[in-house]
Chains A and B, each alone.
Chain A
Amino acid sequence: MKRVAVARWLAVGIWVGALGLSAGASAAQLSVLSSAGEPLATVMITRTLVHKPQQDLSDNGYAPHGVTNQSAVELTRFTSAAGRAHFPHAQGQRPVNYRLRKPGYRDVQLLAKLEGEVLSVVMEAESDPLVQTQLQPANTWLSALDFDGDEKLKKHFQLNCAFCHQQGSPVMRVDRSESQWLEIIKRMGGYGARVADDDRQALAQHLSKGYQKLHDNPELVPAPRAWDTDLSDAEITEWPIGDGFSQMHDFLIHPNGFIYVGDNLFDRIYEVNPETGDYTVYKVPHDEGMKLGGILGNRFTNFPKMENYMGVHSFAVSPSDGHIFITPSMQQALIEFDPVSKEFITHKMDEGFYPHTIRADENDRIWFTLALSSKIGMWERAKGEFRVYDLPARSVKEWAIIKALPLILSFAPDSRPEPSVDRQSTGIPMPYGIDVAPDGRVWFARLYGNDIGYIDPETDSVTMIKTPFNGPRRLRVDAEGNIWIVAFQDSQIVKYNPQARSWQHYDLPVANELPYSLNVDRERGTVWVNGNQSDTILSFDIATEQWQVYPMPRRRTFTRDIEVAEDGSVYTSNSHFPSWQIEGGQPTLIRIRPQEKSQHAVGMKEPSADKKMQSTSESEVAVK
């Protein structure tokens, strides 16, 4: 006999029923209906713990070095066509909160106190179009900003003003005057944004006018892409780490099964155990007397706190001993971390500025881009030596600026001469993404240079290739040796076939998304793309050329790195800068299990013995 207890959620006018059924020993099942009584499919349901684990955050708001804390793990699932979603037990921790979200409907918050509950929830459609529009992802607002048809200016704006954060998120799109926008553009320039000097005034005009127009006419903002209906197989797990001042930039899935995440602004590495949610923080050491911001100086003096002496940026793992190599963007160095002894070694180098994205090759050579000086660096472990490859300048002026960079950076940050900035970012072509192909060639992209290239380690030759698109930011190589590149401000991903020297362009399935990075699951033939304007992660099946879009649980999700785990699940981190723009002000490490049919079903190789258990042959005996 079902015993139904119904409570009215007066604040949102939602009916919630707690059915006294057992949905398994310790699981919960949610059933979601529309106000018309119809099952609601593709409702995103996020479970959070009401009582968060106690954490030692006594080191400037973070865990002290070597201290292990328990993260308050969050789990997100989507309802099926029947409007149902199932949740496993929450490590015995009750009560839990369920937040239900679906575009066009009002969020529901639901407190569940008992294990094994079956909860019935009614969601109400959002009737106020202004509220609905305000809650939409940034890409919808960005797509409605037309810059009076000046497409080139819009792309320049997207490249430079969506470099680190969303455009069109609520804090960005409040009505501002031209002078206020100019002041913001100037401030952002101080942080490192490279809006062309000649475009600043026009940009301020367009932003002031454009947002005012959209506020007055919210119907001009298009609806977001509807969520895919087959998301009920997916599962998203989040590990909240750091705080609203952190920047969880890049990370690494280590062969030991832990995830190592770098806080770029606080020189900390988070070692996360995805099985338990435990995480341990290791502080990257810096020399005594080093200044905040390192070589670049402290560009964030108005931030409440900052510890970026080194600037933990990108991660690679050595194939020989599992040591982790980290680029410290604010120093001329490379950091080595031994995950067994937990010790750091700093390798100092004399040449090149802003060590950026990093990868290791099969010969234990560590390759990284040097973003400010247009070089590629390589640390040859066998010899304990750096080698630096110069990339060609696009003009004599650029060559001169690159040559002058050591001199410019030798000045104190507050008295440093600043070369003028043009649309081409002359002087800073910015080597960015890098990857090692199966044949050993090292491919890289120059974001402002609009080109890619490769180094052949056999000959030490450098080859450059102009891209027929804008904004080649990060890239990866697939199993066949094709190069997959994001076209950042062009809202595409592009495949380059080095054999045929051909380009294939693929539009993203989300309007005005600006893809920061991608990765290729070489085993399964899938390209995973970091969305950062639409609060989504996108997957592209290379064989069928079909897209799948995964909405992220937090609004204002901005991601820069994506890694594929052995079981086919993918990890990313919410690295919105600043992080306080993220919904709840909380950065997270995020795992997406595309199909949660079983814990490890995705792409798992089954032992042959198990296969045969179904029909035992004459020479094999299954044991009950």
Chain B
Amino acid sequence: MSANNLISRLLRLGLPLLLLSFGQLANAAEFNWMTRGVAGIGMVVADAPKATRHYQQLLGITDWELSDLEVQAGDQAAGVRVARGQFNGMTLELLQPLYGNSAISHYLANEGEGLFHLELAGLGSEALKDAEAKGYTSLLQLADHGGYRAQWLDSWARLGVNIKLRTSERSSLASWGDIQLAATDLPLEATRITQLGVVVEDAMATAKAWRELLGIAPWAFVDFKAPAVSNGYYLGAKGKSDAYVHVAYGYWQASGKKFELELLEPVFGPTPHRDYLRKQGQGAHHLSLGRVANHDQLVAAYVSDGIDIQMQSDNGGEGRTATYLDTEAELGWVLELTRAFEGLGSLPLVKQLPR
């Protein structure tokens, strides 16, 4: 092997390795978002105290703390009433606009009640700097409320949900009152919120946006369509499966907890995702209790409480049932739960977006 050949070979092999190393160093220098888990979820509601009763009925949340905040939206101040409750390790914030113009009041006026933000806690101001460097701007700011500070990123268009960054170590808000509701007998002890479902125009583009901002990757893409999907039910139509939703799965994994992100791109056919996209456009659509052992018992309990099944289908094989409950009137979003099956079954994994 001549010296020239050797240099040439080294260059061919080494240069990419060298560049890859620099790339890794560069990545390592980037802010790491995956040090804390998803701390909470925020929902816009018309009347926070009143809305707590729906969360008691459907998720069994009995204890709520009420706070009134003044957030900055650009150069304007806006009042927000917040009801905070805990659901098996996750903080739920019900956000009621009080006065002034803000993204929260606009959301309520334009979309009605619904999912608004995903809260990432304790990441400090470095997270904000990283997001700004990636082109995200501030949607709302809570400068200081007794040592509690937070920023909301304007990420709806790219991620399908807003990101709330709690930049303070303090996690509790000064409260002016409590609501204590009676316990329900719903068998929810073993459940937690495991997934946020986002309806999107383009699953790949949205997955890339999540990867770019938060480093969430890999993403797995699955096609929900017949024959892997069967026994469909939606809008009163039983036995239909002629629909197609292209879905991407990614995971937020930190502090030993895994939180799933599901990006749902309706392709054709009758699905709640198609109708959500038509009515509201891209956005956060549902929360899932995930795969629960007592799925049938829970569904029966909800139905006996007057909650209808919005959609149901077997995904990846008979009995691998996913259920959407028709909770939009009560919660502004859809509650999902599935039977306790493993893996994808016969659902085709069609593509991956790597790290």
A622: Cβ under 8 A from any B Cβ: yes
**A613 touches which one: B248, B265, B351 (CB < 8 A)?**
B351
**Interface-facing stretch out of A384-392, A437-445, A600-608:** A600-608
Chain B's interface size range is: 20 to 34
**Cβ contacts under 8 Å, A415 to chain B:** none
The answer to whether B351 touches A257 (Cβ under 8 A) is no
The answer to whether B239 touches A276 (Cβ under 8 A) is yes
CA distance A257 to B349 in the complex (A): 26
The answer to whether B237 touches A257 (Cβ under 8 A) is yes
**B308 touches which one: A275, A340, A566, A622 (CB < 8 A)?**
A340
Residues of chain A at interface, number, CB under 8 A = 33
Contact mask for chain A residues 161-202; partner B; CB cutoff 8 A; 1 contact, 0 none: 000000000000000000000000000000000000000000
The answer to whether A612 touches B204 (Cβ under 8 A) is yes
Contact mask for chain A residues 430-463; partner B; CB cutoff 8 A; 1 contact, 0 none: 0000000000000000000000000000000000
The answer to whether A322 touches B235 (Cβ under 8 A) is yes
The answer to whether B235 touches A339 (Cβ under 8 A) is yes
A623: Cβ under 8 A from any B Cβ: yes
**B269 touches which one: A257, A606, A620 (CB < 8 A)?**
A257
**Cβ contacts under 8 Å, B237 to chain A:** 254, 256-258, 273, 339
A60: Cβ under 8 A from any B Cβ: no
The answer to whether B239 touches A273 (Cβ under 8 A) is yes
The answer to whether B235 touches A607 (Cβ under 8 A) is no
CA distance A422 to B236 in the complex (A): 48
The answer to whether A254 touches B235 (Cβ under 8 A) is yes
The answer to whether B239 touches A619 (Cβ under 8 A) is no
Return the chain A residue nearest B248 by Cβ. A609
The answer to whether B240 touches A275 (Cβ under 8 A) is yes
CB distance from B267 to the nearest CB of A (A): 6
CB distance from A256 to the nearest CB of B (A): 3
A621: Cβ under 8 A from any B Cβ: yes
Return the chain A residue nearest B238 by Cβ. A273
**Cβ contacts under 8 Å, B204 to chain A:** 607-609, 612, 620
Return the chain A residue nearest B242 by Cβ. A275
The answer to whether B235 touches A566 (Cβ under 8 A) is no
CA distance A610 to B203 in the complex (A): 11
A278: Cβ under 8 A from any B Cβ: yes
Contact mask for chain B residues 294-313; partner A; CB cutoff 8 A; 1 contact, 0 none: 00000000000000100000
CB distance from A116 to the nearest CB of B (A): 20
**Cβ contacts under 8 Å, B267 to chain A:** 604-607
Contact mask for chain B residues 198-211; partner A; CB cutoff 8 A; 1 contact, 0 none: 00001111001000
The answer to whether A258 touches B246 (Cβ under 8 A) is no
CB distance from A277 to the nearest CB of B (A): 11
B268: Cβ under 8 A from any A Cβ: yes
Return the chain A residue nearest B241 by Cβ. A275
Contact mask for chain A residues 482-525; partner B; CB cutoff 8 A; 1 contact, 0 none: 00000000000000000000000000000000000000000000
The answer to whether B203 touches A255 (Cβ under 8 A) is no
The answer to whether B244 touches A600 (Cβ under 8 A) is yes
B135: Cβ under 8 A from any A Cβ: no
**Cβ contacts under 8 Å, B275 to chain A:** 255
CA distance A610 to B242 in the complex (A): 19
**Cβ contacts under 8 Å, B351 to chain A:** 609-610, 612-613, 620-623
CA distance A604 to B267 in the complex (A): 7
CB distance from B248 to the nearest CB of A (A): 8
CA distance A261 to B353 in the complex (A): 45
B270: Cβ under 8 A from any A Cβ: yes
The answer to whether B270 touches A621 (Cβ under 8 A) is no
**Cβ contacts under 8 Å, B236 to chain A:** 256, 258, 322, 338-342
The answer to whether B268 touches A622 (Cβ under 8 A) is no
CB distance from A515 to the nearest CB of B (A): 29
The answer to whether A256 touches B270 (Cβ under 8 A) is yes
**Cβ contacts under 8 Å, A255 to chain B:** 235, 270, 275
A583: Cβ under 8 A from any B Cβ: no
B148: Cβ under 8 A from any A Cβ: no
**Cβ contacts under 8 Å, A258 to chain B:** 236-237, 240
With A256-B270, A600-B268 as contacts: A607 and B203 at CB distance below 8 Å: yes
B256: Cβ under 8 A from any A Cβ: no
CA distance A600 to B266 in the complex (A): 14
B243: Cβ under 8 A from any A Cβ: yes
**Cβ contacts under 8 Å, A254 to chain B:** 235, 237
CA distance A227 to B324 in the complex (A): 48
**Cβ contacts under 8 Å, A600 to chain B:** 244, 268
Contact mask for chain B residues 214-253; partner A; CB cutoff 8 A; 1 contact, 0 none: 0000001101000000000011110111111010100000
Q: Give the contacts of A565-590 with B (CB-CB under 8 A).
A: 566-567
CA distance A322 to B243 in the complex (A): 18
**Cβ contacts under 8 Å, B223 to chain A:** 607
The answer to whether A257 touches B242 (Cβ under 8 A) is yes
With A567-B268, A620-B204 as contacts: A256 and B234 at CB distance below 8 Å: yes
CA distance A342 to B275 in the complex (A): 21
Return the chain A residue nearest B351 by Cβ. A609
**Cβ contacts under 8 Å, B11 to chain A:** none
The answer to whether B353 touches A275 (Cβ under 8 A) is no
Most buried by B among A340, A609, A612, A622: A609
CB distance from A208 to the nearest CB of B (A): 52
Q: Give the contacts of A265-285 with B (CB-CB under 8 A).
A: 273-276, 278
**Cβ contacts under 8 Å, A619 to chain B:** 208, 353-354
B186: Cβ under 8 A from any A Cβ: no
**B239 touches which one: A278, A609, A620 (CB < 8 A)?**
A278
**Cβ contacts under 8 Å, A276 to chain B:** 239
CA distance A613 to B270 in the complex (A): 25
**Cβ contacts under 8 Å, B175 to chain A:** none
CB distance from B157 to the nearest CB of A (A): 17
CA distance A131 to B4 in the complex (A): 90
The answer to whether A257 touches B268 (Cβ under 8 A) is no
**Cβ contacts under 8 Å, A613 to chain B:** 350-351
B24: Cβ under 8 A from any A Cβ: no
CA distance A612 to B246 in the complex (A): 14
Return the chain A residue nearest B308 by Cβ. A340
Most buried by B among A278, A322, A341: A322
B352: Cβ under 8 A from any A Cβ: yes
The answer to whether B203 touches A609 (Cβ under 8 A) is yes
3 closest cross-chain pairs (CB), A and B: A256-B235, A339-B236, A256-B237
A-B contacts, 11 of them at CB < 8 A, read A255-B270, A258-B237, A276-B239, A342-B236, A566-B269, A604-B268, A606-B267, A607-B265, A619-B353, A620-B353, A621-B351
Knowing that A338-B236, A610-B351, A620-B351 touch, tell me 13 more A-B residue pairs with CB under 8 angstroms.
A256-B234, A256-B235, A339-B237, A340-B236, A566-B268, A600-B268, A607-B202, A609-B221, A609-B350, A609-B351, A619-B353, A620-B353, A622-B351
